[in-house]
């Protein structure tokens, strides 16, 4: 295979693409990613697994990551967009998946072609609105397919490496059990048959662990009954039963120096929920909302996970609960909401609130009078008061994120 996408001509853009193209393309990315994933799953039955399962998540993440990287490179890098290491790693892992599934590279090649075709159709629809010249369109087409060639080459590399170093048959059987547990009910006949074939007993309860991408794991440190999926973009483990002290020590040995999040212990049929919560917790750690501990326990952060589980809904609730403050300056809003949140949480006296906020009691009295004037009888209504407190707690949690977005 001399060309991974069967393109005989060596296409290279004649000149750098103008950065303005990136600004035009970026608003299209969310919808385009969704369209590509839909078309791939429709056109390739083998990829039409539950989209919330591990394979579906890797597929979606790969598409989103590749689109964003392609546009970013147009904007910030001279010359033709090239595949960056993060995208290359994900592409290699997709190739590894194909090898572990016992398939050829044909399906993944087809997926790349479908992605390129869908992307180009979108470009053709959008381009006329911005009067993009035919010369620039030609260069952009070249860049798209060269980029896809590079991705496919990385996937082929991962495929060939996996073929050269195959996973032990028993390990692959365990991986199939884990995937099935996360895709469907644990009581299903197919799941029980896979577990029996792997010599693994489906436990009454399980605890899922989310790990950072490219997380190095010491396989020999894992307990024999632990199921592991480490080659995807979002590696994870399944621990039978609760997360005990012994299991924590095992995890610290197996994943040294890396952050992980431990989901709630749930019935085996709810394994996907445990992993979803663990991934949410790990995301909040990366955003700076939760402390960056080596092991983050969902058990200790359930209220935070609940409050921040739907940011868009929290935003809508905030608008409805705090729109009464819109006429104030941002500084005035911050001061009043800080005082109001402290009062709702502590129900303390003026003096106690002043001590907590490091303010003079007279300042707190002034703010409380202003709060009473602004919110009126809503503070006497338990339902309204609870809604306000929920919003203020969520705002306080989001405020922990670093201003520059780094962590």
Domain boundaries, the chain: 20-164, 169-307, 311-398
**For the segment 324-343, what is each residue's pLDDT rounded down to a tens digit?**
888 888 888 889 889 888 88
Lowest mean pLDDT among 48-57, 65-74, 368-377: 48-57
CATH code of the region 311-398: 1.10.10
- Average of per-residue pLDDT across 23-27: 89
CA atoms of 235 and 226, how far apart (whole Å)? 13
pLDDT of residue 403: 61
172-220 pLDDT, tens digit per residue, is 889 899 999 998 665 578 888 889 988 999 999 999 999 998 777 777 6
**Tens of pLDDT along 77-130?**
655 567 888 888 888 888 887 887 778 899 999 999 999 999 999 988 888 888
Residue 170 has pLDDT above 80, yes or no: no
SS (H, E, C) the chain: CCCCCCCCCCCCCCCCCCCHHHHHHHHHHHHHHHHHHHHHHHHCHHHCCCCCCHHHHHHHHHHHHHHHHHHHHHHHCCCCCCCCHHHHHHHHHHHHHHHHCCCCCHHHHHHHHHHHHHHHHHHHHHHHHHCCCHHHHHHHHHHHHHHHHHHHHHHHHHHHHHHHCCCCHHHHHHHHHHHHHHHCCCCCHHHHHHHHHHCCCCCCEEEEEEECCCCCCCHHHCCCCCEEECCCCCCEEEEECCCCHHHHHHHHHHCCCCCEEEEEEEEHHHHHHHHHHHHHHHHHHHHCCCCCCCEEEHHHCHHHHHHCCCHHHHHHHHHHHHHHHCCCCHHHHHHHHHHHHHHHHHCCCHHHHHHHHCCCHHHHHHHHHHHHHHHHHHHHCHHHHHHHHHHHHHHHHHCCCCCCCCC
- pLDDT bucket at 9, cuts 50 / 70 / 90: very low
| The predicted structure's pLDDT at residue 265 | 97
Q: What is the pLDDT of residue 280?
A: 95
pLDDT at 407 over 60: no
Side-chain-side CA neighbours of 76 within 13 Å: the count stands at 8
- Say yes or no to pLDDT of 4 above 50: no
278's tokens: 């663990």
Q: 169-307 in CATH: which number? A: 3.30.70
7 pLDDT exceeds 70? no
**CATH code matching the domain that covers 20-164, chosen among 1.10.490, 1.10.357, 1.10.10, 1.10.3470:** 1.10.490
pLDDT tens digit sequence for 345-396: 888 888 888 888 899 989 989 999 998 888 888 888 888 888 888 888 888 8
To the nearest whole number, what is the mean pLDDT of the chain? 84
Chain length of the chain: 407
How do 295-297 and 260-267 pair as beta strands? parallel
Q: Does residue 195 contact residue 61 with C-beta atoms inside 8 Å?
A: no
Instruction: Assess whether pLDDT exceeds 50 at residue 63.
Output: yes
pTM of structure: 0.56
| Residue 188, pLDDT score | 77
């Amino acid at each position: 295979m001399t060309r991974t996408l069967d393109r005989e001509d060596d296409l290279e853009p004649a000149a750098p693409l103008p950065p303005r193209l990136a600004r035009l393309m970026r608003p299209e990315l969310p919808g385009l990613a969704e369209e590509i994933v839909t078309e791939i799953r429709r056109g390739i039955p083998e990829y039409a697994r539950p989209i919330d399962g591990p394979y579906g998540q890797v597929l979606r993440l790969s598409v989103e990551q590749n689109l964003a990287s392609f546009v970013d490179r147009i904007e910030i890098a001279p010359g033709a967009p090239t595949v960056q290491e993060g995208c290359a790693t994900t592409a290699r892992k997709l190739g590894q998946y194909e090898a572990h599934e016992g398939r050829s590279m044909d399906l993944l090649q087809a997926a790349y072609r479908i992605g390129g075709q869908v992307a180009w159709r979108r470009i053709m629809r959008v381009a006329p609105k911005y009067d993009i010249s035919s010369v620039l369109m030609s260069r952009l087409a070249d860049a798209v397919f060269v980029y896809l060639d590079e991705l496919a080459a990385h996937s082929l590399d991962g495929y060939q490496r996996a073929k050269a170093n195959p996973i032990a048959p028993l390990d692959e059987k365990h991986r199939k059990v884990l995937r099935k547990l996360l895709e469907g009910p644990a009581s299903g006949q197919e799941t029980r048959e896979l577990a029996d074939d792997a010599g693994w007993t489906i436990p009454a309860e399980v605890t899922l662990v989310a790990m950072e991408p490219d997380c190095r794991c010491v396989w020999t440190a894992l307990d024999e009954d632990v199921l592991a999926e480490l080659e995807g973009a979002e590696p994870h483990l399944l621990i039978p039963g609760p997360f005990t002290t012994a299991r924590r020590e095992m995890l610290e040995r197996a994943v040294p120096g890396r952050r992980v999040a431990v989901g709630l212990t749930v019935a085996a049929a709810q394994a996907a929920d445990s992993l979803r919560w663990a991934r949410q917790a790990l995301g909040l750690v990366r955003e700076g909302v939760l402390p960056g501990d080596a092991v983050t326990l969902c058990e200790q952060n359930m209220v935070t996970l609940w409050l921040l589980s739907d940011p868009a809904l929290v935003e809508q609730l905030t608008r409805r609960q705090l729109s009464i403050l819109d006429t104030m300056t941002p500084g005035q809003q911050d001061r009043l909401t800080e005082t109001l949140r402290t009062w709702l949480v502590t129900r303390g006296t003026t003096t106690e609130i002043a001590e907590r906020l490091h303010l003079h009691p007279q300042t707190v009295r002034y703010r409380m009078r202003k709060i009473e004037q602004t919110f009126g009888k809503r503070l006497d209504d338990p339902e309204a008061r609870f809604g306000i407190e929920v919003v203020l707690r969520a705002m306080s949690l989001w405020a922990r994120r670093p201003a520059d977005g780094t962590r």
